[in-house]
Amino acid sequence: MKGIGVLLSGGGTNLQAIIDTIEHGNIAADINLVLSDRPDAYGLIRAEKRGIPAYCINRKKFKDAGSFNEAILEKLTAHHVEYIVLAGYLSILSPKLVECYRNKIINIHPSLIPAFCGKGYYGDKVHQAVLDYGVKLTGATVHFVDEGTDTGPIIFQKAVEVLPDDTVETLSRRVLAVEHELLPKAVALLVQDRLKVSGRKVILKSSGMMSNS
C-alpha cells in the first residue's frame, strides 16, 4: 500500500476527510505519518486516535528554514512517505523538499486561485479578504505544490457563492465543506498516478493508462 504524509497546522478536518475516505475504501493508500508545525494542533490528536504516527516539528525550535525542512524530510523518509498532502499547513516547504517530491505534493487552498492566494493569504484571512473585496464567488482549489506560494498547477476547483449576509464564519464553513469534497478526490487520483502535469495544466489519465511506478 502506498504511503501518504499529511502536514497540517490546525484542527485537521481535511485530515479527517481523508481518513474517512480511506476507511470507506475509496483511497488506495495508508496515511503513514502526520506532521504539524504547531504543538497544539488538534490534527495530531485526530491522527493518534487512529493509530497514525504523529509528530510536531516546530519551526521555532530550529535555527533556520534549512534545518527545519531537513527534519521534515528525515521524518518523511523514515516513514516511507511517497506522497505529501498539505491540509492547512502554514509553513513553507523548501525547494529541496519540493524537488524530492516533485508532482507528489498537493495543497488545498480556500479560494479560487489565482484570486486571494499567495503570501499572507491563509485561513480566515482569505475569507475576510473575499468579503472585503465584495466578490460574488469564492471557492476552494486543490493544486500541486511548487517552489512558489499557491502557484502550482491546479487539479480541482469548485465555486462557492458569497451571500449578502455572509460572515467569515458562515463563508468558511461552506468553503470547508467543498474542501472536504475536493481534497480526498484529488488524493485518490494522486496515489493512482492518474494526475499528469503538462506545463501549467493537470491532465486526468484514464484508469487504463495508470503508471506501474
Catalytic residue status for 109: yes
Distance of CA 117 to CAs 45, 80, 138, 141, Å?
A: 29, 31, 11, 10
Instruction: Find the catalytic residue in 24, 79, 80, 109.
Output: 109
- What's the number of CA atoms in the CB half-sphere (13 Å) around residue 180? 13
Q: Are the C-beta atoms of 188 and 173 separated by less than 8 Å?
A: no
Strand 195-198 to 201-204 pairing? antiparallel
Q: Which domain holds residue 165?
A: 2-209
Share of the chain above pLDDT 90, in %: 95
pLDDT at 207: 76
In angstroms, the CA 99 to CA 148 distance is 12
Which CATH number covers residue 39?
3.40.50.170
pTM: 0.94
- What's the number of CA atoms in the CB half-sphere (13 Å) around residue 72? 32
pLDDT digits (tens, 9 = 90+) for 173-210: 999 999 999 999 999 999 999 999 999 999 999 876 54
Give me the number of domains the chain comprises: 1
Residues forming beta bridges with residue 204, ordered by sequence position? 195
Intervals of the chain under pLDDT 70 = 208-213
**Residue 107 buriedness (CB in 10 A; 0-12 / 13-18 / 19+):** buried
